[in-house]
């Protein structure tokens, strides 16, 4: 036995989380399928009139990405809490800040990244103009990472509660809103020909802030939850 370095430990954690997701292939494709289905719901509910859909496509896609992040981020720590792994993580000599980043990173890879990469297909379904596709992908890449980090805070705070399912959404939806506003504004801008750079820069700034602060909040939340 030898003591693992911190980086090595984080990579192991990341691999573990990814493998857990891969063990149930359905978990990976699910955010995508959910995305596809809600994309299909919108025309069903709103009527198929094509010209209206295109105008709504940018915002709609962002709202769906947000919802599908919301639905999955609740589970980031839950199973680890229930089987006692979380206790062991908190007792670990490794820095919790980085372990938490590994958890969130895995979550983002399985949801945000996949969603962003698949989003052009859905964008075409909703007739989003082609010139906005690049901005859509970029804004989703940056934005979903922020969402995952914020969602982790909600998940950490509620993981100790008996039935926290929807409490998480209540806690983190308000935090999500700025991301939604800038993300959809970027895409909407690209649709109407406004350069999306500034919006994307703001999203990137948010991401930096979130990476710096959210793990602290998550770590504190976990320590509190384990004691509840």
Interaction with other proteins in 78-137: which residues (CB under 8 A)? 79-80, 82-94, 99, 124-125, 127
Rule CB under 8 A: say whether 42 interacts with its own copies.
Answer: yes
Rule CB under 8 A: say whether 85 interacts with its own copies.
Answer: no
For 36, residues 6+ apart whose C-beta sits below 8 A from its C-beta are 122
- For residues 151 to 180, the per-residue mask of contacts with its own copies, x marking binding by CB under 8 A and - elsewhere, is ----------xxx-xxx-xx--xx--x--x
Judged by CB under 8 A, the residue of 7, 177, 201, 208 near other proteins is 177
Return the number of the residue (10 or 137) whose C-beta is nearest other proteins. Answer: 10
Q: How far apart are CA 63 and CA 7, in angstroms?
A: 35
Cβ 144 to its own copies shortest distance, Å: 14
Judged by CB under 8 A, the residue of 111, 135, 139, 225 near other proteins is 225
Return the number of the residue (113 or 129) whose C-beta is nearest other proteins. Answer: 129
Give the relative orientation of helices 197-225 and 96-108 as an angle to the nearest 10 degrees.
120
Q: Look up tokens 């750079």; give the residue.
A: 197
User: DSSP 3-state assignment of 111?
Assistant: helix
Rule CB under 8 A: say whether 24 interacts with its own copies.
Answer: yes
Judged by CB under 8 A, the residue of 62, 77, 108, 182 near other proteins is 182
Q: How far apart are CA 156 and CA 160, in angstroms?
A: 8
50 makes contact, choosing from other proteins, its own copies, none, with CB < 5 to 8 Å by partner type, with other proteins
- Smallest CA-to-CA distance from 204 within 113, 153, 143 is with 143
CA distances to 67, 98, 148 from 200, rounded to whole Å, are: 20, 26, 17
């Amino acid at each position: 036995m030898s003591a693992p370095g911190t980086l090595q430990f984080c990579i192991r954690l990341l691999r573990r989380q990814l493998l857990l997701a891969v063990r149930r292939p359905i978990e990976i494709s699910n955010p995508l399928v959910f995305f596809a289905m809600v994309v299909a719901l919108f025309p069903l509910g709103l009527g198929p009139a094509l010209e209206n859909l295109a105008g709504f496509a940018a915002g709609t896609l962002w709202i769906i990405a947000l919802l599908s992040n919301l639905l999955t981020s609740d589970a980031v720590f839950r199973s680890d809490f229930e089987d006692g792994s979380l206790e062991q993580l908190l007792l670990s000599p490794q820095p919790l800040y980085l372990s938490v980043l590994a958890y969130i990173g895995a979550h983002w890879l399985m949801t945000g990244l996949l969603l962003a990469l698949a989003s052009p297909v859905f964008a075409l379904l909703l007739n989003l103009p082609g010139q906005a596709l690049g901005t859509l992908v970029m804004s989703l890449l940056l934005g979903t990472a922020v969402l995952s980090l914020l969602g982790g805070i909600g998940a950490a705070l509620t993981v100790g509660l008996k039935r926290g399912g929807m409490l998480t959404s209540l806690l983190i939806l308000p935090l999500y809103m700025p991301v939604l506003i800038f993300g959809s504004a970027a895409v909407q801008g690209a649709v109407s020909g406004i350069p999306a750079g500034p919006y994307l820069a703001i999203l990137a700034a948010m991401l930096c802030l979130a990476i710096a602060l959210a793990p602290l909040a998550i770590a504190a939340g976990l320590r509190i939850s384990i004691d509840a």
